[in-house]
Structure 1
Amino acid sequence: MTAVKYIRNVQNFSKSKSAGERPWLGLDGLILALICACFIIIVNGSGDNENDENDRESDYEMSDALGAKRRKLRKIIASLPSAFIIFILGVILAIIRGPNVVKTFKFGPSSIEFIKISKKSWKDGFIKGTIPQLPLSILNSVIAVCKLSTDLFPEKDVSATSVSVTVGLMNIIGCWFGAMPSCHGAGGLAGQYKFGGRSGGCVALLGVAKLVLGLVLGTSLVKVLQQFPVGVLGVLLLFAGIELAMCSRDMNSKEESFVMLVCTTVSLVGSSAALGFLCGIVVHLLLRVRKLGNGQSCTSIV
């Protein structure tokens, strides 16, 4: 839903509101967003299954020279880093939209300050930040990440404990230096997988790139990102969300699908992941109670 809003409407991030419909033309128009979406579909397709089918079709086409050329062209297209290309395009458009940004570049890292957090800030942060965010963080940063990792990389062993500890360490250390709250996030994992990041080396390279940019440009980079086309950003978020949603295709029963749909519907309509999570748990427990009423044992239910 958020990705679609980013594509369709002009965003006022300072007020967290939409500022009218996005125009069709321009450096941040709907046509640009649609072109980026079409490019991603052509390069990445719908997923691995489609690529496997294309490979099987190509085996039959290898009998002639035309088939060999088609297979080679498909491999070249599939190997293109679509997300990186679109990101570079967005940066170029951001510089074109705000040419004065380049003139204000200051090379070198920004100054780092140690923040003293008062007791009142701890209290307000815990009540207004931690408690409301806790259900979403547990769902998206721990449970969903572990489940998605198991689905995408079944040979890897990912524990909820290790994920929880790393998320906690990131925030405990970062808050003393004014860092924004951060987590692993199932959406980020799905997006990296969708756009070709299938190994730990990809994440390491991403981290190195961020460190280099931070040390070289510092806060000057923020001025460029402020001009980044939001419609293009919405397209990237949209396909990351689609990849994340497609992971629910492995549900084996109507009961699992029913709980998932209830949780999703309540979350979207009520604009609250915590409420959707709570309703999903309640529905799941009610279905278990119903099975008990039908005479099934507790062991078979679990």
Structure 2
Amino acid sequence: MEDLDHPNSTTTTTTTTTTPLLPQRPPWHHNLLRPLRPKTAITGELGGAVGDLGTYIPIVLALTLINHLDLSTTLIFTSLYNITTGLLFNIPMPVQPMKSIAAVATAESSSHLTIPQISAAGICTAGVLLVLGATGLMSFFYKFIPLPVVRGVQLSQGLAFAFSAIKYIRYEQDFVSSKTNSSDPRSWFGLDGLVLALSALCFLILTTGSGDSVPQHSERGESTPENRSRRCLQRRLRTLSSIPGALLVFLFGLALCFLRDPSIIKDLRFGPSKIQLVKITWEDWKIGFLRAAIPQIPLSILNSVIAVCKLSADLFPDRELSATTVSVSVGAMNLVGCWFGAMPVCHGAGGLAGQYRFGGRSGLSVVFLGIGKLVLGLVFGNSFVRILSQFPIGILGVLLLFAGIELAMASRDMNTKEDSFVMLVCAAVSLTGSSAAMGFGCGIVLFLLLKLRRMECSSLGFWRSESKAPAADDENEV
């Protein structure tokens, strides 16, 4: 009894702990906010946020100036798309204009497409992708399309971006007429000269290198001259990679807009435009579908879904995208925004390559981009087009060049001569025919012919006489 009552007693007491019957689950917002956890430094995510603007700005500017696209509405809707896809996919998923629709809408012709016709084309394309995704047909196509053909489409798209980028850098551009005057080369000096563009190019090469991640080596080890030199090199590369080069170049271009035309400040009007429902007539549906949707649908299937999923598997093996999810995503975005006059958009492999190239490793980069677009759309509205019209085109060309090269380099995994042959023929036809669908069709036919050539002829019954040959030999031996 004394031992039990004594405070210093050595008697052990058993403590009981309660174990919950069910495992505790994380809060509902845990998975939703997972993309907001950066995979790399915040500066890298900020740099990746502007990785696809080399494609986005020229097309949006052309549609705004030529077809009178409501820039405020487009900025607001695409910002919501960016934020939503960044949270859902957890990769720097781009939101880019539908290029074929934009090309038809701004082409030199007697009658440009109107906003209702552009919206009709976007809705028709979105409807096809939504049906393909919801029925599982897109996943079926994704599984059975040969990889060399996909690589050929990626190579052609990447080189097409690079060619356009070189034109932006070398020659003056007129987005109002959507025409490049090759006889009017860009001047060397000035606020949009060759020297400025080449300086931006050199700066991005120094800060981002070839686009590879800097390996993390341990600082421990024997203090030899060789190890000290290696550690010094790694520290310098990490410091350079931490600089958001693309973001700094883009902000520098924005600052130059006000230097090139100081009257921009007087023309700015604050506040967004009124969002209105677009009235689409039967004639608009017919023109939009026949002229713009038909050439856009195969490009969206190949570059916005198939190529994006393949590229996501290359860049993010642990976060490979589903073809069904991406196809439904493109359809849902346009079935909402196009009814209000927003620009038809899709997910592009080039945009994903560009954002990855400049440091984007998670959904946080496109969330940053979406917040920036939302602020610009709500604060400046349609008057922001005055700023974009003065943006140095040479700098846009530099950003687009890196995106195109990164996308083209996805084809470097073709190790056999047969796969390389299919890929290069597909890319060549796509580039010279100005149609990814044409190159895709030629690539499929070529792939099947090569497989047919190597197929065992016995399975077709061509060499049934071979089974009788051993019997004849036996008779001769007897």
- In the TM superposition, residue 63 of structure 1 has moved relative to its aligned partner by 4.9
Matched length: 294
Alignment partner of 1:162: what SS?
helix
Specify whether residues 296 and 101 from structure 1 end up closer, same or farther in structure 2 by C-alpha distance, changes over 3 A only: farther
Specify whether residues 279 and 67 from structure 1 end up closer, same or farther in structure 2 by C-alpha distance, changes over 3 A only: closer
- Select the residue among 340, 348, 356 that pairs with 1:193: 356
Q: Partner of 1:43 in structure 2?
A: 207
- In the TM superposition, residue 293 of structure 1 has moved relative to its aligned partner by 6.1
- Select the residue among 282, 291, 298 that pairs with 1:119: 282
- Rounded to whole Å, the distance in 1 between the matches of 2:295 and 2:235 is 51
Q: Partner of 1:300 in structure 2?
A: none
- In the TM superposition, residue 67 of structure 1 has moved relative to its aligned partner by 6.5
Max Rg structure: 2
CA deviations on 1:96-128 (whole Å, 9 max, x unpaired) are: 111111111111112211111111111111111
Instruction: Decide which moves more: 148-157 or 277-286.
Output: 277-286
Q: Partner of 1:174 in structure 2?
A: 337
Q: Which has the higher contact order (CA 8 A, sep 6+)?
A: 2
- Select the residue among 172, 176, 179 that pairs with 1:17: 179
Specify whether residues 211 and 62 from structure 1 end up closer, same or farther in structure 2 by C-alpha distance, changes over 3 A only: farther
Q: Tell me which amino acid in the other structure corresponds to 1:95.
A: F
Q: Partner of 1:218 in structure 2?
A: 381
Check whether the contact 1:144–1:186 (CA below 8 A) recurs between aligned residues: yes
CA deviations on 1:47-90 (whole Å, 9 max, x unpaired) are: 326x33xx669888975677665543332211111110110011
- Select the residue among 433, 436, 445 that pairs with 1:270: 433
Q: Partner of 1:3 in structure 2?
A: 165
Could you tell me the TM-score, scaled by structure 2's length?
0.58
CA deviations on 1:139-184 (whole Å, 9 max, x unpaired) are: 1100110000000000013111110111011111111111111011
- Rounded to whole Å, the distance in 1 between the matches of 2:260 and 2:392 is 9
Specify whether residues 100 and 66 from structure 1 end up closer, same or farther in structure 2 by C-alpha distance, changes over 3 A only: same
- In the TM superposition, residue 252 of structure 1 has moved relative to its aligned partner by 2.9
Q: Tell me which amino acid in the other structure corresponds to 2:176.
A: S
Task: For 1:30-109, list aligned pairs within 5 A.
Answer: 30-48=194-212, 51-52=214-215, 63=224, 70-109=233-272
Q: Tell me which amino acid in the other structure corresponds to 1:10.
A: E
Task: For 1:239-258, list aligned pairs within 5 A.
Answer: 239-258=402-421
Q: Which runs of 5+ in 1 are unaligned?
A: 298-302
Specify whether residues 288 and 224 from structure 1 end up closer, same or farther in structure 2 by C-alpha distance, changes over 3 A only: same
Check whether the contact 1:98–1:227 (CA below 8 A) recurs between aligned residues: yes
Check whether the contact 2:211–2:358 (CA below 8 A) recurs between aligned residues: no
Q: Tell me the percent identity.
A: 57
Alignment partner of 1:155: what SS?
helix
- Rounded to whole Å, the distance in 2 between the matches of 1:70 and 1:62 is 15
CA deviations on 1:238-271 (whole Å, 9 max, x unpaired) are: 0011111111111232122111111111122222
Check whether the contact 1:61–1:67 (CA below 8 A) recurs between aligned residues: no
Q: Tell me which amino acid in the other structure corresponds to 1:7.
A: I
